[in-house]
Chain A
Amino acid sequence: MAKLKLALYWAAACGGCDVAVLDINEKILDVAAIADILLWPVALDFKYHHVRAMPDKHIDVCLFNGAIRNSEQEELALLLRAKSKVMVAFGSCACFGGIPALANFSNRQGIFERVYFEAQSVENPEKTLPQPHIKVKEGELELPEFHDTVRTLAQVVPVEYFLPGCPPTVKLILTAVDAIAKNALPPPGAVIASNKTLCDECERVKEDKTITKVYRTHEIIPDPKKCLLEQGLLCMGPATRGGCGAQCVKANVPCRGCFGPPPGVLDQGAKYLSALASIYDVKDEVGIARMLEEIVDPAGTFYRFSLADSMLKRKRL
């Protein structure tokens, strides 16, 4: 039986998703037994020209992690889409924008100025900026165009499957690999995680969902047995898809929403905001003002991993 042709690529990523694949430990040998990996920059030495030389739809499955924020990443997304039968948006960045999508609070100019001029550890008196084309003595050099906005993979190319998580858990990766190996993938468009919210798999005791104060995570040490939201911490569980095994919550820290919105929810941040305001039990102006003071960074907290996937996609400048 012919081996599966697999490709793994990273765009605006951190490498964590690639490491997560390696976290399946010795099972990577099982993967190597059933698949030929044709591209995996972190681990193998294939180049872009190898991919360009492939016939269309040559790759069976491409696991694409990282968000799209420059022209090279966009080009690779389009290239791999053309060369692959199945594209999987692997990890929160490819699915929702992830942490890099927090850059959508700014744009190219704002980011360049901070990174290359203003940052405290930068010495750049000549105000040099990266250029897409530059002539040097020997010839020409190119760099990708830096886009104003971070996009998810699905905003650039059609995607068959979504595997959320920052990074996806080993269990979910194995579920996906298993389904690919057995040719038993669900219908296209599926998210390979749970169809319920995180609260469903969280084992903490949930009682009366009303709060009168929101605490920042350094202000209290939470009771490990009680619901974190009920203790006044901004746990994103109610507005986050489950399937991760509630790892953060088990470590006594509130969920930050890396699995993205639950099924049917169009905007994770708005939904969470609605839920939070529902349970915060104040009725007067003073109480409401206090609530607003306690929630210091609503957009950054509620859209921590999903700003690119939100309704407004970015800050309007």
Chain B
Amino acid sequence: MSNNNFEPKIVGFLCNWCSYRGANTAGTARLKSAPNVRIVRVMCSGRVDPTFVLKAFKQGADGVLVLGCHPGDCHYAEGNYKTARRMPLLKKMLNQLGIEDDRVRLDWVSASEGARFTQVVNEITAKVKELGPFSRDEGKRNPGEAWAPGGAHPTRATKVAAQVNEPEAVKPKERG
């Protein structure tokens, strides 16, 4: 089911040390690639909280690309291992939420791999193009109707909650 007029919006989270530089290498080499990936530079692919991926979809993305250093090459040693575990688990959860496998991709691109960057971008763009736009349907109240959003959100409240007597044994933990 491909729609030739549909240009997917793909958000790409690229790590500063490898994949972002790989994208730069692709640019310097004047390699052509699909223009659909909007790049967000993060210091490490391990910075990519699964919430970012969800937020990207919620705010209009049709696909999300996460690129990091090859396993073993992470600038911060362990960061990309965490990503290597987070992204497949997130994809499994997203499948349960009706989001196709091909909409989210994790891959490894080093600073010198301009061609590889181009290839990955072209591949995900083609796959998402074929899948079509991400469903914006948050569940209409009745078919054809949207609802008006309500008020306060329980976790975005910045005001102090009523104090509940805390158990005596607990000491506040210092953040490292």
Contact = CB atoms under 8 A, between A and B. Distances in A.
A195 interface: yes
Interface string A136-158: 00000000010111011111111
A270 B88 contact: no
A185 B135 CA distance: 41
A297 B96 CA distance: 8
B162 A192 contact: yes
Contacts, number: 195
B154 A96 contact: yes
B58 interface: yes
- Among B81, B86, B141, B164, the most chain A Cβ lie within 10 Å of the Cβ of B164
B165 to A, nearest CB: 8
A313 B140 CA distance: 12
Given A147-B142, A200-B170, A271-B51, A288 B160 contact: no
Given A194-B161, A274-B49, A312 B97 contact: yes
Interface in A179-195: 179, 185-195
B57 A155 contact: no
A65 interface: no
A288 B151 contact: no
Interface in B101-152: 134-135, 137-142, 147, 149-152
A158 B137 CA distance: 22
Nearest to A146: B142
Interface residues of B, number: 53
A265 interface: yes
Contacts of A312: 54, 57-58, 97
Contacts of B97: 105, 299, 312, 314-316
Nearest to A284: B71
B32 interface: no
14 contacts: A96-B154, A104-B139, A155-B147, A179-B162, A189-B158, A201-B167, A261-B154, A270-B53, A271-B49, A283-B71, A291-B85, A298-B89, A316-B99, A317-B98
Interface of A: 71, 74, 89, 95-96, 104-105, 107, 145, 147-149, 151-160, 162, 164, 171-172, 175-176, 179, 185-195, 200-201, 203, 241, 243, 245, 260-267, 269-271, 273-274, 276-278, 280, 282-283, 288, 291-292, 295, 297-300, 302, 309-317
Interface of B: 49-51, 53-55, 57-58, 71, 81-82, 84-86, 88-90, 92-93, 96-99, 134-135, 137-142, 147, 149-162, 164-167, 169-170, 173
